[in-house]
């Protein structure tokens, strides 16, 4: 019995393209704008059997607008290029092929992998007894090209927590993991000669529908920062409550006008009049220029920023206390000098920013307060006045 066949194969190539098109969406943008769309496509061809690869797409640029939906789709295609069988026996035989394929993609926006399984068969074909004429006659069957699989699956994501994963700066990527299992099984009786050649691909597409930035108002008006004392400032701005858009405000501060840190959150309905304000005290006992801005954060992660405002602040009572001893063998205390009766909150953070100790104390004049024991390392000790929320920070080293 002599069998000859060509393996099912798929050439390995990767093609990526970006296209722009209008996208229909049930969610309308403010001001009557129709949502726009942007899509990216990738096609991967792979060899028969088990396969895995990484698919990457550009993240959505938040300066373009706000994502209202993401549509993920995969199209599984396989083609039978040719299949032929010829009977080698002097009696009838049958021949056929069964194809199976399972695809799975996992990544951002998918709580569980998007999967698809397909099975398709060709035959069995009846082959007459051998007639001694090659590649023709009733003892021969030839098929192809024919479509084996061509299936598309689509998932549309509208949940705001899932959509927040799709934002990123230029050059940042969404990463998806793709796996496939494909096989072909020849089923024949008797002695035969023939072969099978098949090819296939996965076409993956991500499509964003979004509201353009021009349609999304920045609801921060008349933003000002006023110095109220040597180490404190008051931030004020006005906002409007747009019932069609869900957002909140974050107040951010920077010492270098580049790296900003969040210092407070205000919901848009915290003040029914639409006027917002927040008090701020100098951080870490540092004197100098502080830069402030208000970040408007939409429910799905999209953000817009106000103009920045600057003010010079001083540390509070820089010499009123000291960490003692410092460096320490583990026992940590605070020595207060020239302090009248006052209540303080003590917070200690490790170098990872994790709070390792919180303690409230009452100081009545110069005194020493032991806080506790710490393991070897570097820490930051923050002292906060409960009277006016002024604070100062000093570093602590334990051996």
- pLDDT (tens digit per residue) in 265-315: 777 655 544 567 777 666 445 677 888 888 888 766 677 788 888 888 876
Q: Which residues of 40-65 are buried (b: 16+ CB within 10 A; e: fewer)?
A: bbbbbbbbbeebeeebebbbbebeeb
Is this model's pTM higher than 0.85 or not? no
For the segment 107-121, the average pLDDT, to the nearest whole number, is 92
The DSSP symbol for 5 reads: -
Confidence class of residue 1 from pLDDT cuts 50, 70 and 90?
very low
Q: How high is the mean pLDDT of the chain?
A: 79
Fold of 217-313: Immunoglobulin-like (2.60.40)
Q: How far apart are CA 32 and CA 226, in angstroms?
A: 38
Ranges of CATH 2.60.40.1930 domains, the chain: 321-398
CATH 2.60.40.10 maps onto the chain at 217-313
Question: What is the arithmetic mean of pLDDT over 241-261?
Answer: 75
pLDDT for the residue 17:
33
Measured CA to CA, the distance from residue 231 to residue 371 in angstroms comes to: 26
- Cα–Cα distance between 84 and 67 in angstroms, integer? 51
Q: How far apart are the first and last CA of the chain?
A: 81
Q: Which residues pair with 378 in a beta bridge?
A: 397
Pick the CATH number of 321-398 from 2.60.40.1930, 3.40.190.10, 3.40.50.300, 3.40.50.1820: 2.60.40.1930
Longest alpha-carbon distance in the chain: 115
Q: 119: pLDDT confidence band, cut at 50, 70 and 90?
A: very high
Query: Percent of the chain at pLDDT above 90?
Result: 21
């Amino acid at each position: 019995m002599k069998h000859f066949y060509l393996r099912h194969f798929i050439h390995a190539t990767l093609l990526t393209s970006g296209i722009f098109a209008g996208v229909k969406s049930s969610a309308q943008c403010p001001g009557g704008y129709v949502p726009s769309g942007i899509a990216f496509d990738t096609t991967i061809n792979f060899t028969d059997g088990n396969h895995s690869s990484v698919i990457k797409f550009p993240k959505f640029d938040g300066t373009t607008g706000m994502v209202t939906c993401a549509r993920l789709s995969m199209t599984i295609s396989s083609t039978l290029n040719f299949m032929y069988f010829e009977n080698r026996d002097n009696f009838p035989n049958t021949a056929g092929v069964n194809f199976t394929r399972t695809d799975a993609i996992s990544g951002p926006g998918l709580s569980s992998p998007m999967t698809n399984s397909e099975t398709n068969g060709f035959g069995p074909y009846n082959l007459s007894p051998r007639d001694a004429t090659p590649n023709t006659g009733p003892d021969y069957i030839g098929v192809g090209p024919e479509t084996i699989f061509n299936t598309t699956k689509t998932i549309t994501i509208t949940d705001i927590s899932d959509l927040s994963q799709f934002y990123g700066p230029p050059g940042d990527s969404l990463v998806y993991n793709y796996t496939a299992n494909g096989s072909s099984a020849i089923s024949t009786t008797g002695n035969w000669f023939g072969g099978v050649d098949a090819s296939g691909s996965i076409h993956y597409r991500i499509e964003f529908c979004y509201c353009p930035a021009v349609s999304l108002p920045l609801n921060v008006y008349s933003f000002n920062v006023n110095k109220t004392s040597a180490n404190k400032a008051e931030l004020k701005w006005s906002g409007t409550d747009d019932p069609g858009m869900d957002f909140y405000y974050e107040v951010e501060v920077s010492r270098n006008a580049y790296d900003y840190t969040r210092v407070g959150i205000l919901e848009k309905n915290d003040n029914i009049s639409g006027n917002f304000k927040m008090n701020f005290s100098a951080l870490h006992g540092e004197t100098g220029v502080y830069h402030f801005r208000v970040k408007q954060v939409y429910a799905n992660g999209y953000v817009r920023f106000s103009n920045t405002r600057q003010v010079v602040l001083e540390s509070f009572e820089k010499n009123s206390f000291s960490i003692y001893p410092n460096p320490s063998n583990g026992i940590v205390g605070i020595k207060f000098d020239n302090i009248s009766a006052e209540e303080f909150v003590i917070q200690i953070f490790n170098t990872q920013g994790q709070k390792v100790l919180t303690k409230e104390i009452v100081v009545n004049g110069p005194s020493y307060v032991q806080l506790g024991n710490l393991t070897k390392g570097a820490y930051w000790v923050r002292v906060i006045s409960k009277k006016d929320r002024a604070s100062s920070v000093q570093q602590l080293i334990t051996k």
